[in-house]
Structure 1
Amino acid sequence: MDEGTLEEASPQPDTSISLDTAVFVFSLFDTGALLFLLVYYVITLSDLECDYLNAQQCCYRLNLWVIPKLAAHLLLSLVFLLTGHFYLFLASLPLAAFLIREYVKVPAGNFGVYDPTEIHHMGQLKAHMRDSVIGMGYYLVFFFIYLYCLLTHLLRSNPVPKPDYADDIGL
């Protein structure tokens, strides 16, 4: 037998990535980035609480990342909606609503969600710290849910072909 016949007889494995695989990989990266951002929020707020930063520096640093955090979460929710992962989309809606409400309810005249003139008043610093830690917990749980979804999808799709043992036993 010549080599051309052998190549035709053995099927080539499909190396393309399915849409679900791409969605779950994107969700892992997006959630991982949001986790790191919320760790940054907690560290910055704790620096303000310990007087390592002044309120103006702290609020400027945090307000800089409010829109990217909101955009990343809304993009992830939109991807789940468009790809038909409705349970994951519904699970992301409460946090999306909270983030949108937090952004929209900023009073006129404030610098942003984090205002340096009001952050020490009426326990706002503790509330922001609490919200950041709750958000970290949410993203940590969903990071592992997305990882589980990716692994179960990869196992169901069986991307690795089974070896052909016919040549080993002389058939």
Structure 2
Amino acid sequence: MILAETLLFSLTLIDSGGILFLLVYYIITLSDLECDYLNAQECCDKLNYWLLPKYLAHTFITFILLLHGQLILFILNLPLFIWLTFEYFTVPRGNLGAYDPAEILNRGQLRKHLRDIMIYVGYYLIFFFIYLYCFILALLKGDPLQRSADDQIVTEI
């Protein structure tokens, strides 16, 4: 074990919470584009700027779970890691990034991006509560009240 379990799950909670806030920002930015409050160039610049931090944050979660030996959570995070890696490194030639201003309003790309972001929000929301549950279990695993001695009264914690 590299980290204590409480520290591990607190880091994953903070990281996935940050990604959730970032995804809400993505939803707001894409809906502003849909309502013509932003032009396509501004919207795509904002979204492409946060693409690498989102990828790195999920990569951090995935590898810290692997290093700590949480194999089930690692395996559950691996498909999204593979998908984000594919999405980040397979930008079509000539595009400015995963969100391209020339194509975002054509061929239903805006709806596709909104759908993908909603899937990410659902995924991270589920895993946020899984990490919260694991964090609470890790906190309770220590037995801070020394309940093993029934006849002894514990006056200090």
Q: Which moved more, 1:150-159 or 1:42-51?
A: 150-159
**Are positions 1:19 and 2:4 aligned together?**
yes
| Equivalent of residue 32 in structure 1, options 11, 14, 17 | 17
- Are the aligned partners of 2:13 and 2:128 in contact in 1 as well (CA < 8 Å)? yes
Aligned-partner Cα distance in 1 for 2:121–2:144: 33
The one of 140, 143, 153 aligned to 1:165:
153
Cα distance between partner residues in 1 of 2:79 and 2:35: 32
TM-superposition CA deviations, 1:78-117 (whole Å, max 9, x none) = 0000000000000101111111111122111111000000
Q: Which residue of 1 aligns with 2:120?
A: 135
Tell me the amino acid that sits aligned with residue 107 of structure 1. Answer: P
Equivalent pairs counted in the alignment come to 150
Distance 1:166 1:93, change over 3 A: closer
Q: Could you list the runs of 5+ residues in structure 2 that have no partner in the other structure? A: none
Higher alpha-carbon deviation: 44-53 or 149-158: 149-158
CA distance in 1, matches of 2:153, 2:95: 70
Q: What is the alpha-carbon distance in structure 2 between the residues aligned to residue 160 and residue 136 of structure 1?
A: 38
Please give the secondary structure, in 2, of the residue aligned with 1:120.
coil
Report the AA paired with residue 165 of structure 1: I
- 2:54 match: 69
Q: Matched residues in 2 for 1:74 and 1:89: separation?
A: 11
Distance across 2 between alignment mates of 1:91 and 1:80? 10
What is aligned with 2:39?
54
In the superposition, the TM-score normalised over structure 1's length comes to: 0.83
After TM superposition, the score normalised by the length of structure 2 is 0.90
Q: 1:41-69: per-residue Cα shift (whole Å, max 9, x none)?
A: 00000000010000000000000000000
Match 1:123 to one of 102, 108, 111: 108
Where in structure 1 are there 5+ consecutive unaligned residues? 1-17
Q: Write the distance in 2 (CA, Å) between the matches of 1:107 and 1:141.
A: 31
* TM-superposed deviation, 1:165: 2.4
Aligned residues of 2:145 and 2:154 also touching (Cα < 8 A): no
Take 1:49 and 1:161, find their aligned partners in 2: how far apart are those partners? 58
Q: Distance in 2 between the 1:46 and 1:137 partners?
A: 18
Query: Which whole-Å CA distance do the structure 1 matches of 2:154 and 2:50 have between them?
Result: 58
RMSD: 1.7
Distance in 1 of aligned mates of 2:144 and 2:64: 23
Distance 2:112 2:126 in 1: 21
Highest CA radius of gyration, 1 or 2?
A: 1
